[in-house]
C-alpha cells in the first residue's frame, strides 16, 4: 500500500514538472547569436587581373570599422576612402552592417570598364528579421566602340538586373535571405560571361542576422508562477510526510 501511494505521488510530481517545462519553453530564432559582415569590394580572378579578397573587411563579433584610403588591386581603382562597419548587441539579439565608397572604377580589360559613385550597402537585423538596401548615386559601363555606354540606375529596386554586352550582367541592390534569416545585400554585383571565367565582382556588401536575446523574458505569468510554486511546495511536504509515516510504521512492532 505504501509503495502504491509513493508511486502515485512521484507520477503527479513528474506531470507537474512536465507542465512547467512546456509553459516556460519559448520558441527561439534560428541563430544562437547575432552576426554581421561587411566589405567594400571583392573579385574573382579573370584574364590578367588578380583576385581581390573582401577589402576592407569587418565582421561581428567583434565588430568595428575597417577603412582603407585608396585602392588599386585586381579590377578596382579608387582614390576614395573605403569603409566597412559592423556592430551587434547579444542582449537585444540585433546586428548591423554597412559598406561605403564615394567613387570607384572597375576594369574589365579589353571588353570595357565601369565607374560607380555613391556606393552604399546597409543591413539591420533584429530577432524578428532583417532589412537592408544597396544603392549607388550613379554608374556607367563604357564599352568598346561602337557600342553605347550602359547606365546603371541609381537607387534601383531590389534585384534589378542589367545586361551588359560582351561583359555579362550587373545586379543592382541584390538581396537574398538564407534559411537562418541572414540577409545579404550587394549594392552592385557584376556576373561576368563564361569566356571571362564567369567571375563575380562585388562592390558594397553588407550581411546581418538577428538572434534570440541573450536574456529572454520568461514566458509565464504571475498566476501560473504562484500556482506552480504552491504545487511544488505541496509536493515537497507530501514527500516528507510519507517518509515520516513509513519510518513510524517500520518502528512499530507487529501485534501478536
pLDDT tens, residue by residue, 206-229: 999 999 998 655 555 555 455 555
Residue 159 lies in a domain: yes
Residue numbers of the domain that contains 181: 36-209
Is 19 domain-assigned?
yes
Predicted local confidence at residue 30, as pLDDT: 80
Can you give the pLDDT at residue 240? Answer: 47
In a shared domain, residues 178 and 238: no
10-residue mean pLDDT series, the chain (256 residues):
42 41 44 96 95 98 98 98 98 97 97 97 96 98 96 98 97 96 98 95 98 71 54 52 55 50
What pTM, to 2 d.p., does this model score?
0.74
Same domain (yes/no): 126, 184: yes
Listed in sequence order, the residues at least 6 apart from 222 whose beta carbon sits closer than 8 Å to its beta carbon are none
Check residue 211 and give left, alpha or beta (phi > 0: left; psi -120 to 50: alpha).
beta
* Residue whose C-alpha cell is 571571362: 196
Contact (CB, 8 A) for 183 and 175: yes
Work out how many domains the chain is built from and give that number. Answer: 2
Residues 220 and 205 in one domain: no
Residue 224 counted as domain residue: yes
Q: Is residue 128 part of a domain?
A: yes
In angstroms, what CA-CA distances link 222 with 125, 225, 226, 233, 254?
A: 32, 5, 6, 16, 50
Q: Are residues 225 and 204 in the same domain?
A: no
pLDDT given for residue 13 in this prediction: 43
Q: Same structural domain for residues 21 and 71?
A: no
Same domain, 112 and 60: yes
Same domain for 159 and 71: yes
Q: Are residues 164 and 234 in the same domain?
A: no
The answer to whether residues 61 and 143 belong to one domain is yes
Residue 129's beta-bridge partner residues? 126
pLDDT in tens, 129-178: 999 999 999 999 999 999 999 999 999 999 999 999 999 999 999 999 99
Under 8 Å between Cβ of 54 and 224: no
Residues in CB range of 93: below 8 A, 6 or more apart: 29, 34, 126, 127, 210, 211, 212, 213, 214
In a domain, 256, yes or no: no
Domain co-membership, 102 together with 60:
yes
Three-class SS state of 213: coil
Amino acid at each position: 500500500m505504501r509503495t502504491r501511494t509513493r508511486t502515485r505521488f512521484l507520477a503527479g510530481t513528474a506531470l507537474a514538472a512536465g507542465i512547467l517545462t512546456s509553459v516556460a519553453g519559448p520558441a527561439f530564432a534560428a541563430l544562437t547569436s547575432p552576426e554581421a559582415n561587411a566589405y567594400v569590394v571583392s573579385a574573382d580572378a579573370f584574364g590578367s587581373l588578380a583576385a581581390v579578397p573582401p577589402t576592407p573587411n569587418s565582421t561581428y563579433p567583434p565588430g568595428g570599422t575597417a577603412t582603407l584610403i585608396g585602392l588599386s588591386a585586381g579590377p578596382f581603382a579608387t582614390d576614395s576612402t573605403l569603409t566597412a562597419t559592423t556592430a551587434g548587441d547579444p542582449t537585444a539579439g540585433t546586428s548591423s552592417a554597412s559598406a561605403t565608397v564615394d567613387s570607384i572604377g572597375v576594369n574589365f580589360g579589353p571588353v570595357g570598364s565601369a565607374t560607380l559613385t555613391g556606393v552604399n550597402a546597409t543591413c539591420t537585423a533584429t530577432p524578428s528579421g532583417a532589412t537592408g538596401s544597396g544603392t549607388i548615386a550613379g554608374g556607367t559601363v563604357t564599352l568598346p566602340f561602337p557600342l553605347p555606354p550602359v547606365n546603371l540606375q541609381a537607387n534601383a529596386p531590389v534585384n534589378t538586373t542589367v545586361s551588359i554586352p560582351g561583359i555579362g550582367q550587373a545586379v543592382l541592390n541584390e538581396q537574398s535571405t538564407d534559411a537562418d534569416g541572414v540577409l545579404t545585400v550587394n549594392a552592385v554585383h557584376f556576373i561576368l560571361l563564361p569566356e571571362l571565367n564567369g567571375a563575380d565582382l562585388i562592390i558594397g556588401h553588407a550581411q546581418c542576422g538577428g538572434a534570440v536575446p541573450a536574456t529572454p523574458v520568461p514566458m509565464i505569468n504571475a498566476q501560473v508562477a504562484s500556482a506552480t510554486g504552491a504545487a511544488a511546495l505541496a509536493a515537497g511536504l507530501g514527500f516528507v510526510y510519507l517518509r515520516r509515516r513509513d519510518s513510524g510504521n517500520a518502528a512499530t512492532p507487529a501485534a501478536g
